[in-house]
Amino acid sequence: MAAASALEAVQAALRESDERLRLVLENAVDCAVFSMDTEGRVRSWNTGAQRLLGYGEDEILGRSADIFFTDEDRATGAPEEELRTALATGRAADDRLHRRKDGAHFWAGAVLMPIRDSKGEVTGLLKMLRDQSEHRASQQAVAYGRAELLNALRATESARQALEAADAAKDRFLAVLAHELRNPLASISGAAQLLAAESLPAEDQARASRVIRRQAATMQVLLGDLLDVSSLRRGRLVLRRERVSAQDIADAAVEATRPLIDHAGHALVLRIAPETIWLHADPIRLTQVVSNLLSNAAKYTPDGGTVTLEVRSEWREAVFEVSDNGIGMEPHTVEAMFTMFMQSAHAHARAAGGLGIGLALVRSIAEVHGGTVRGHSNGRGQGSRFTVRIPQIEEHASVVPAPPPRPSSSEVVPDETGETVGVQRVLLADDNVDATWGMARMLSRAGFTVEIARSGAEALALAERFRPDAAVLDIGMPDLDGREVARRIRAEAWGSGMYLVAATGWGQPDDKRTALEAGFDEHLVKPVAAAEIARLLRTRAEAVRNEGAGGEDWR
């Protein structure tokens, strides 16, 4: 009797335990708990499983539990591997994507454990799933935020390094610019002092004059390169294309750089194709390209070296190739030499090392012509070779002609008849007394009557009294700037036909536009040669004569 009572008590305790377990499972709405047979088919299903996975108990019982895995995991055998691990080790756990009834994926942590009877035999398996989507999203957000922070820190560091590099490049550029400008200034100063001597042989006077002209031309090239850099960076470099031969480009470049090459005692070797190679290009800009390469070859080759210029046709391209046996470059640094303000590490030891913008200009000018530039060197002390390729045109191709280039000589030349033109009145207005004095003397020798003003107000008063045929006005003058002087002259009846030329150190497209809007006929960038002014006056006078206009109404 006692044994029966004990058995009943045990059975009641088991029923109570089962009921408590059932209640726990049924109320675990945040966790999917279900059992499976050893083949992986669902045998029981709790409320949490229905809420999380979307299947009702009648829909899922008897079906394989691999339906909760993604197609990718099923294809790789993940459900079978989980089952084998649980049976072999007593537990299988993982975090992975699972699939609901509606096909939506969610991230869940899962545990699979075997169920054993009183003898220890496996009778099934119990699986528990907990939705980890929010936790996973939080983790990913933290990781993403950390990655974003690291990227921001890296970007900040890169920007800081770039700014430091740019600042260092700026300092190097300014130092080189100061050096390059001091050299011609020192030469000009010395020659000017020599000319000031009371008694100086004519031969020395002529040489001093040549030094001043040559060094002033050097400074003009440096300043021109700086302006070209600005134009190229803004995409405002204007090409004046015309039909020109590669041989003419080479001749002009050689003529421009021959003094530098001869001064260093270099041998210049020319290999120019005999057949004419035609281009549709800006002759001044292409000459600038080849001249720059020849100048570099001369500067970076020890005295008595060899500089070679080859011009040939290859694959319907004109090829200009400049080579030397100079200081050369490390092969891995050649391409960097085309970067703005970049110079070879050992180029500073040489005089007139340049601003570090020449090769960048060369490449830019070649590219706007549809061409390319490549450099090559086998190493230090083994020379360099630069190859420019520009598309050719057919020999008989027709192109729109460009205006003839302006002369760059600083000497006034006579007109086509071999004589200077008749007396014409010219007003020069500039607060730089030295500049206007030199130009006035040259124009006077060419047959012009010249008056000088040193401020805007003086220029306006002198123009009214002198009534010149033409006026060359500086833009930045005291009292009134050149544009205001031009506007006031144009407002007067006596000034409506006056030929007005702006001479200024500002050469950007906007500067030219505002000058023309103020009433100027021409806009010239300093330094302006007297020959240029004389040419403009003669061209204007000839145009007026051809039109049969009156002598004083130049407009």
What's the mean pLDDT in 323-345?
78
Q: What is the pLDDT of residue 198?
A: 59
pLDDT of residue 348: 44
Q: Do residues 301 and 324 make contact, with C-beta atoms less than 8 angstroms apart? A: yes
Write the single-letter amino acid at 502.
Answer: A
Fold of 18-131: Beta-Lactamase (3.30.450)
Residue 169 CB neighbours (<10 A): 16
- pLDDT(42) > 70: yes
Mean pLDDT for the stretch of residues 298-327 = 94
Q: Taking the mean position of all CA atoms in its chain, how far away is CA 423?
A: 51
pLDDT of 12 over the 70 cut? no
Specify the domain boundaries for CATH 3.40.50.2300 within the chain.
Answer: 425-547
Q: Tell me: the pLDDT tens digits for 463-479? A: 999 999 999 999 888 78
Quote the CA–CA distance of 423 and 470 in Å, as a whole number.
12
What's the rounded Cα separation, in Å, for the pair 10 and 466? 133
247: number of Cβ within 10 Å: 17
Q: Which of 93-97, 319-323, 406-410 has the highest mean pLDDT?
A: 319-323
Mean pLDDT for the chain overall = 80
* Ranges in the chain annotated CATH 3.30.565.10: 239-391
How do residues 511-522 score in pLDDT, each as one tens digit? 888 999 999 999
The alpha carbon of residue 35 and the mean position of all alpha carbons in its chain are separated, in whole angstroms, by 68
Secondary structure percentages of the chain, helix, strand, coil, to 5: 50, 20, 30
CATH architecture of 425-547: 3-Layer(aba) Sandwich (3.40)
Which residues fall within 8 angstroms of residue 209, CB to CB, at 6 or more apart? 191, 195
**For the stretch 25-42, what's the b/e string if a residue is b when 16 or more beta carbons lie within 10 angstroms of its beta carbon?**
beebeebbbbbbeeebbb
Residue type, 41: R
Sign of the CA dihedral running 419, 421, 423, 429: negative
Kindly list the distances between the CA atom of residue 161 and the CA atoms of 166, 175, 333, 338, in Å, as whole numbers in the listed order: 8, 21, 20, 21
pLDDT confidence of residue 486: 95
From CA 249, how far away is CA 237, in angstroms rounded? Answer: 19
According to DSSP, the β-strands at 499-504 and 522-525 are parallel
Average pLDDT over residues 90-117: 90
Of 463, 468, 469, nearest to 487 (Cα)? 463
337-374, pLDDT tens digit by residue?
877 555 555 544 444 445 557 788 888 889 889 999 99
Q: 113 or 27: which carries more pLDDT confidence?
A: 113
Per-residue confidence (pLDDT) for residue 186, from 0 to 100 = 60
* Residue 369 in tokens: 């012509």
pLDDT of residue 552: 45
Rounded distance between C-alpha atoms, residue 404 and residue 240, angstroms: 9
Residue keyed to tokens 């391209």: 317
How do strand 470-474 and strand 499-504 relate by DSSP bridges? parallel
CATH architecture of structural domain 146-231: Orthogonal Bundle (1.10)
pLDDT (tens digit per residue) in 145-201: 888 888 888 888 888 887 877 666 666 665 556 555 665 666 666 667 666 665 667
pLDDT class of 416 with cuts at 50, 70, 90: very low
Q: Where in the chain is the domain with CATH 3.30.450.20?
A: 18-131
Better-predicted residue by pLDDT, 25 or 532: 532
Tell me the Cα Rg of the chain: 44
- Of these ranges, 16-20, 375-379, 523-527, the one predicted with the greatest mean pLDDT is 375-379
CATH 1.10.287 spans which residues of the chain?
Answer: 146-231
Q: With bands split at pLDDT 50, 70 and 90, how would you rate the model's confidence at 419?
A: very low
Contacts of residue 387, defined as CB under 8 A and 6 or more positions apart, other chains included, come to 319, 320, 321, 373, 374, 375, 376
Least confident of 228-232, 300-304, 412-416, 447-451: 412-416
Give the right CATH number for 239-391 from 3.30.565.10, 3.30.230.10, 1.20.120.1200, 3.90.1300.10. Answer: 3.30.565.10
Residue 317 contacts residue 391 (beta carbons within 8 Å): yes
Task: Label residue 551 by pLDDT band (50, 70, 90).
Answer: very low
Q: At 52, which amino acid appears?
A: L
Strands 105-116 and 92-99 turn out to be antiparallel
Q: Which of 101-105, 215-219, 545-549 has the highest mean pLDDT?
A: 101-105
